[in-house]
Structure 1
Amino acid sequence: MAGSFGLGGLDIMLSRWVMDETQDINLLDKRLEQRFRTLLDSLSQASTASIPAACNDRAEMVAAYRFFDNEKVRFENVLEPHIESTYRRIKAHKTVLLVQDTTELDLTRPHSEVEGAGSLHNGNRCGALLHLLHAFTTDGTPLGTVSAEAWTRESRSDQPALKRGSSEKRVQIKNRPFHDKETFRWLTTAQHCADVKSHVPKTQLVMLADRESDITEVIDFCRSQADFDWIIRSDGGRIVNKDDKTDPSIAVRESLRNTATLFTRELEIRERHAWGSATVKHRPGKADRRDRAVSVSVHFDTVTLNDPRVGKREGVTLNAVLVRETKPTNQDEPIEWLLLTSLPIGSQDQVELVIEYYLLRWMIELFFKVLKSGCKIESRRFEHIDRFLPALALYLIVAWRSLYVCRMSRAHSEKSCKHLYTDAEWQSVWQVINRTSPPKKPPTLLEMTKLIAQLGGYVNRKNAGPPGPQTVWLGLQAMHLIATCWLTFGPGATKTCV
């Protein structure tokens, strides 16, 4: 059931999920809070459209831009009610994965400049960066954001930038205090995992992070925590601690390669499209990647790593799993993952679980794809970064909802679609696609998602795979228009004389 409230003499109907998601909103102004709900509802129904196109009229468009320009509206308090709702969803699960990652938001404009935007990689583009901690179930269903930080770098100065990878650049980075580095966010986000645990004490939390988080301070903190488990992909450069310092150094990766193969298995590697400049796309681990099946060998051991910090003699002992592609091709970057973890690895089943959890780290890349392609966040036109950031927070909620609907149909395919859709939504879509009156019993979530995806271009033929997020988010926009017409002109519409 939808909720409603009065605004300017109008009775505005809101989607049920919007009312649920914003129950903890606190902008210290009731009209602002009402406007927030209206905006969230409107933009979620037309996620790819521009803000003027998503609004019902000029007055609503003006109100939207005034909302983002209001000094009471900030990135943090726009996102806060969603975070509280995410905690409630996490509580319903025994184990939840907390995935952290960073992405660039390219706001470069050919004929204008976003005031306050900072430089991005190599300094030839401008925009903002976003570091996210997002919760997923163990079947890949997104539960929502629990921590987010958006920031801008200092704009490019007149002095030529030091070349990436040069000795001067390495010295500059090394001499910078850790808390002043962007990588410090990997530590603060890991620390936030402990805070999440205080809200969901009965749920096991497992933090997942990619190679950028392979930082000694991050691993030190994670090892000191009993509140959550963790899996960090190592960059492979770590050295095994030696009892005899005269022995030659050996990398952890090489040490694990020398162990016996525990087992082999097939992995489904997901497609990845690199975001950003051509330089970024050709960095290791950032290039485009196609969907493919690979055969991998799996090695594991409990290892003691050398602590690279000056004066540290004791090693760091933890569990490590090495996943290697057995038959790499010249066409694709070979798969070789060195996973450091707090999870037990005493049996094949336990090692398999580590790998299965890490495979779900890909879901945050899919989330960023929905944010950038499905919500067009980089195309939003704002003159100042301070107006863009509250809009970013709002679209983080829209992106979550789009991906949530898509993944729910896979994880809970046999549930009734009434868990997510109103009668007007499923009945109108059924009639448009099937050209028959809707049945008394609502279709399942999977059936409904396929119907919606067909509105977005999905071809529902025999042996076709499940719909992807793109056809679903396009179909959802069409569904909202169809449902509005159904309520206005359909069987249950109030008959009026004209």
Structure 2
Amino acid sequence: GRAAGRHVVAVQDSSELALGSRRARAGYGPVGNGNAAGLLLHPVLAVEAGTGALLGLVSMQVWNRGAGELAPRRQRATANKESQRWIDATKQAGAVLEGAASITMVSDRESDFYELFAERPHNVDLIVRACQNRRIEAAQEAPGLLFAFIDAQPEQSRFEVTIPAAPGRRARDAELAVRYAPVTVRRPLNGADPALPETIGLTLVDVREVSKPKDGSEPVHWRLLTTHSVATVAQARRVVDLYRSRWVIEEFFRTLKTAGFDIEAADIGDPHAMINFAAAATIAAVTIKQLVQARDGNTDQRLSDAFDPD
């Protein structure tokens, strides 16, 4: 209901809840490259485009990995992989937020796989930070590669943004150079369902920091694949601004862990009970993040966004 009539950014990401090796004996699966035990959490947060107001929790998945051996990744269908969570969350956003004026799902590099673009709901646009140097249709006979293609494009504009603070990084102003172009992405040769379309038309928006940061941080470089049409610099800038909305989920995870609930310190030996607790804490952490936004006066939200009238 809160999303009705609004332009909404749905931000999804995964985080490991590492509960410590002593709980491995209690039935918790591996996390952290197998060096610890715990759960995995995958929430979707609804954010109003422009204001950044956190409207609420769209969906979440909490699960405990099995300890058994899995078949090699390329020998399993997507439905049998953890990557299916990105598709399920996108479809859930399309259903829950159907009253919104527009829905844009934003996600980071882990979600860059062909099926997500092929199976997105009709009412959900995607902005995905590219990870795979994909084959694309090109003018020459042999397929081109995504990264080399965009690197060869002329710079089309520059603009300044504020890069927010993060662990080990101070907030800073950065000048970004932008390039953008339509691309036709080809279906992967290995592992992709042959029933998927052979090609998908997308737009690639490339932004990179012009100079090296003085604090020694890595310069910003985002290659953003999107289903949005981008024909102008203003539209490219909007894609970048929508992608930057994903920082709210980083702040949410920080509230759930180090800055708020310290959920990884919970002394719960039963994985099923811990899954329930993680779900309840996720809901509460969203409310706390809404209250922090209200305290800072950055959004024009009502108390009913965070609490039922009763």
| TM-score of the superposed pair, with normalisation by structure 1 | 0.55
**CA deviation profile, 1:157-176 (whole Å, cap 9, x unmatched):** 8xxxxxxxxxxx9x922122
2:46 maps to: 135
- Structure 2 vs 1, CA of residues 155 and 402 (structure 1 numbering), >3 Å: closer, same or farther? same
Structure 1 residue 97, shift from structure 2 partner: 0.8
Q: Distance in 2 between matches of 1:357 and 1:324?
A: 16
1:208 maps to: 106
* Contact 2:16–2:41 under 8 Å retained in 1: yes
Identity %: 27
Q: How does 1:25-424 map to 2 (within 5 A)?
A: 88-91=1-4, 93-108=5-20, 115-138=26-49, 139-155=51-67, 172-197=72-97, 200-222=98-120, 225-242=121-138, 244-245=140-141, 247=142, 249-273=143-167, 288-309=168-189, 314-329=198-213, 331-373=216-258, 374-408=260-294, 409-412=296-299
Structure 1 residue 122, shift from structure 2 partner: 2.4
Q: Distance in 2 between matches of 1:176 and 1:420?
A: 41
- Structure 2 vs 1, CA of residues 151 and 235 (structure 1 numbering), >3 Å: closer, same or farther? same
- Structure 2 vs 1, CA of residues 417 and 126 (structure 1 numbering), >3 Å: closer, same or farther? closer
Structure 1 residue 182, shift from structure 2 partner: 1.0
**CA deviation profile, 1:12-65 (whole Å, cap 9, x unmatched):** xxxxxxxxxxxxxxxxxxxxxxxxxxxxxxxxxxxxxxxxxxxxxxxxxxxxxx
| TM-score of the superposed pair, with normalisation by structure 2 | 0.87
Which structure's residues are more often helix, by fraction? 1
* Runs (5+) with no aligned partner, structure 1: 1-87, 158-168, 274-287, 422-498
Structure 1 residue 215, shift from structure 2 partner: 0.5
1:426 maps to: none
- Structure 2 vs 1, CA of residues 124 and 314 (structure 1 numbering), >3 Å: closer, same or farther? closer
Q: Distance in 1 between matches of 2:288 and 2:237?
A: 30
* Contact 1:236–1:251 under 8 Å retained in 2: no
Q: Distance in 2 between matches of 1:213 and 1:174?
A: 16
Structure 1 residue 369, shift from structure 2 partner: 0.4
**CA deviation profile, 1:337-375 (whole Å, cap 9, x unmatched):** 111112221222211111111011111011010011201
Q: Distance in 2 between matches of 1:109 and 1:308?
A: 38
* Contact 2:112–2:132 under 8 Å retained in 1: no
Q: Distance in 2 between matches of 1:419 and 1:323?
A: 34
Paired letter, 2:201: T
Paired letter, 2:93: C
* Contact 1:140–1:407 under 8 Å retained in 2: no
* Contact 1:114–1:383 under 8 Å retained in 2: no
- Structure 2 vs 1, CA of residues 306 and 101 (structure 1 numbering), >3 Å: closer, same or farther? same
- Structure 2 vs 1, CA of residues 152 and 289 (structure 1 numbering), >3 Å: closer, same or farther? farther
* Contact 1:382–1:388 under 8 Å retained in 2: yes
* Runs (5+) with no aligned partner, structure 2: none
Paired letter, 2:31: L
Paired letter, 1:121: G
* Contact 2:39–2:65 under 8 Å retained in 1: yes
RMSD: 2.8
SS in 2 for 1:375: coil
